A and B are shown apart, each in its own frame.
Chain A
Amino acid sequence: MIDEIHTLSGAYALNALPLGEREAFEGHLTRCESCDIEVRGLCETAARLALAVAEPPPAAMKSRVLAQISQVRQEPPVVPHPPMEEPVRATVRDNVRPFSRRRQRFTVGIAAVATAAAAVLGVVAVEARQARDTAELQGRTLAGLLAAPDAVVKKVPVTGGGTAVLVSSHASGRVLFASSNLPPIAPTRTYQMWLMDSGEIRSAGLLSGETAVVALARGDDRFGLTVEPAGGSDQPTTTPVLLTRI
């Protein structure tokens, strides 16, 4: 029987266990680490199946829900959470004077942190489709990227206004950047893209128009956008208006 109970992880993740068995299996999960780990991955997988059938609810539902929560008391925390750090934070460090370490921290902003909100969600599909439309030339690239097994789609707000959709795939070695409604900048300035790995930042080129396809190097794990003097800079000189993991 012990052997057999491990095989329930799939049915459990699909919420297909009858009540009694569900409880028994939850008991098992507290004792069996391998099932516990497996179940987490399978639950994440099941959730993706839901993304596939995402459908916006009627707009009125949102106002009903928001009205309702203002009347609903929340459960108190089960375990006290430590004070949360901003999960994505960037530090600009003056390399030339290592001892003064003039630090200027900035927060990308919770909205940008909500990258994930869009990354895997049906919601982003619309924007991505817009991106696809506006990036006709890149359509083939986008299709190729989307077909990549490791493709990740993110929608990221841009500080100051506008949003960007990034489709990245390390397997394909490319990231597609598509923006909309970026804040206008002076003609003496330009938007410049950056790729970062654990140690380095390098320019990924100037953004002309709204979209760009950029080659990824192994190890690149972040993408940034800054406003630079026309012609671009060797290294970013201003606070990124967008900074996200890819």
Chain B
Amino acid sequence: MNDVISLVPAPGEGREPGLEDLLVRVARGDETAFERIYDALSAPVFGLVRRVVRDRAQAEEVAQEVMVEVWRTAARFDPGRGSAMSWVLTMAHRRAVDRVRSAQASADRERRAVREEVAYDQVAEAVTTRLEGERVRRCLDGLTELQRQAVTLAYYGGYSYPEVAGLLQTPLGTVKTRMRDGLVRLRDCMGVDR
């Protein structure tokens, strides 16, 4: 017998079809699909939230809210507009940032900010143990110092760009631009599909 196996891609299939399909199922109330999403994404969600929020108990609370929010609002996910992973992690990041921005007086944040200067080193350390992290770190290493600080303070530190500008004592316009060109460079380094 001379069989030929061919894959018939579904319409709009991206490079990584799995999570997107699962999330669409979640929107239809599929709890099994949700559990898979949970298994796949709860670690990055929790890790990210924890890095931004710092406090472990609070991070757990926020991460839990995020996962429930994924369930509740899955219908808003549009597979044509990006990956499920990005959708979920964007939500997680917003929640985490909302938490720190509302919870802390700005003076508090200023003080905390001083300690943030080491954020990148901590990150660098944390990621060395992780597979995907090795690549991320290598890509972070490829940024200029200012790009790297702007990106990591915003993303891992949860700071707005005016706050980052204050921390780095750099003009607002420069910080905006460094965030953009830093991310662009990361994107190219990581080979993210556009």
**How does the 8 Å CB contact mask read for A1-30 relative to B, with 1 for contact and 0 for none?**
000100111110111111000000000000
Residues on A with beta carbons closer than 8 Å to the beta carbon of B134: 146-147
The verdict on A57 contacting chain B, using a C-beta distance below 8 Å, is yes
B154 in contact with A11 (CB, 8 Å):
yes
A10 in contact with B183 (CB, 8 Å):
yes
B43 in contact with A121 (CB, 8 Å):
yes
B86 in contact with A44 (CB, 8 Å):
yes
CB-based nearest B residue for A81: B24
**How does the 8 Å CB contact mask read for B145-178 relative to A, with 1 for contact and 0 for none?**
0000001101110111110100000000101111
B5 in contact with A55 (CB, 8 Å):
no
Q: How many Å lie between the Cα of A94 and that of B179 in the bound state?
A: 54
With A49-B155, A52-B132, A77-B75 already in contact, the answer to whether A8 and B31 are too (CB < 8 A) is: no
Residues of chain B in range 64-79 having any CB-CB distance to chain A below 8 Å = 64, 67-68, 71-76, 78
B44 in contact with A50 (CB, 8 Å):
yes
**How does the 8 Å CB contact mask read for A80-94 relative to B, with 1 for contact and 0 for none?**
010011111111111
The verdict on B113 contacting chain A, using a C-beta distance below 8 Å, is no
Size bracket of the A interface: 35 or more
With A11-B154, A14-B179, A47-B90 already in contact, the answer to whether A93 and B72 are too (CB < 8 A) is: no
Residues on A with beta carbons closer than 8 Å to the beta carbon of B8: 89-91
B5 in contact with A201 (CB, 8 Å):
yes
Residues on B with beta carbons closer than 8 Å to the beta carbon of A115: 16-18
Q: Tell me the smallest distance from the CB of A187 to a CB of chain B, in Å.
A: 23
Q: How many Å lie between the Cα of A151 and that of B131 in the bound state?
A: 11
With A74-B74, A95-B3 already in contact, the answer to whether A16 and B123 are too (CB < 8 A) is: no
Q: How many Å lie between the Cα of A134 and that of B137 in the bound state?
A: 25
**How does the 8 Å CB contact mask read for B1-39 relative to A, with 1 for contact and 0 for none?**
111111111110101111111101101110101111111
A235 in contact with B24 (CB, 8 Å):
no
Q: How many Å lie between the Cα of A128 and that of B134 in the bound state?
A: 13
**How does the 8 Å CB contact mask read for A220-233 relative to B, with 1 for contact and 0 for none?**
00101000000000
Q: How many Å lie between the Cα of A150 and that of B177 in the bound state?
A: 27
Q: How many Å lie between the Cα of A13 and that of B89 in the bound state?
A: 11
The verdict on B92 contacting chain A, using a C-beta distance below 8 Å, is yes
With A44-B83, A52-B130, A92-B4 already in contact, the answer to whether A122 and B43 are too (CB < 8 A) is: yes
B194 in contact with A65 (CB, 8 Å):
no
Residues on A with beta carbons closer than 8 Å to the beta carbon of B135: 146, 151
CB-based nearest A residue for B81: A40
The verdict on B141 contacting chain A, using a C-beta distance below 8 Å, is no
Q: Tell me the smallest distance from the CB of B93 to a CB of chain A, in Å.
A: 5
B13 in contact with A87 (CB, 8 Å):
yes
The verdict on A58 contacting chain B, using a C-beta distance below 8 Å, is yes
Q: How many Å lie between the Cα of A110 and that of B7 in the bound state?
A: 15
A153 in contact with B131 (CB, 8 Å):
yes
Residues on B with beta carbons closer than 8 Å to the beta carbon of A119: 16, 18
Residues on B with beta carbons closer than 8 Å to the beta carbon of A10: 151, 176-184
Choose the segment among A176-184, A211-219, A237-245 that binds chain B (4+ C-beta atoms closer than 8 Å).
A237-245
Known: A46-B90, A55-B46. 11 other contacts (CB 8 A): A7-B177, A18-B161, A43-B90, A48-B186, A49-B152, A74-B72, A88-B9, A113-B18, A114-B18, A122-B131, A124-B132
In order of increasing CB-CB distance, the 5 nearest A-B pairs are A10-B180, A116-B16, A116-B18, A117-B40, A10-B179
Taking Cβ atoms with an 8 Å cutoff, the residues of A that contact B are 4, 7-11, 13-18, 37-38, 40-58, 61-62, 64-66, 68-70, 72-79, 81, 84-96, 110-111, 113-125, 128-129, 146-147, 149-151, 153, 194, 196, 201, 222, 224, 235-237, 240, 243, 245
List 10 A-B pairs, Cβ < 8 Å.
Answer: A16-B160, A41-B192, A50-B48, A53-B127, A54-B46, A54-B130, A78-B76, A87-B10, A122-B133, A243-B5
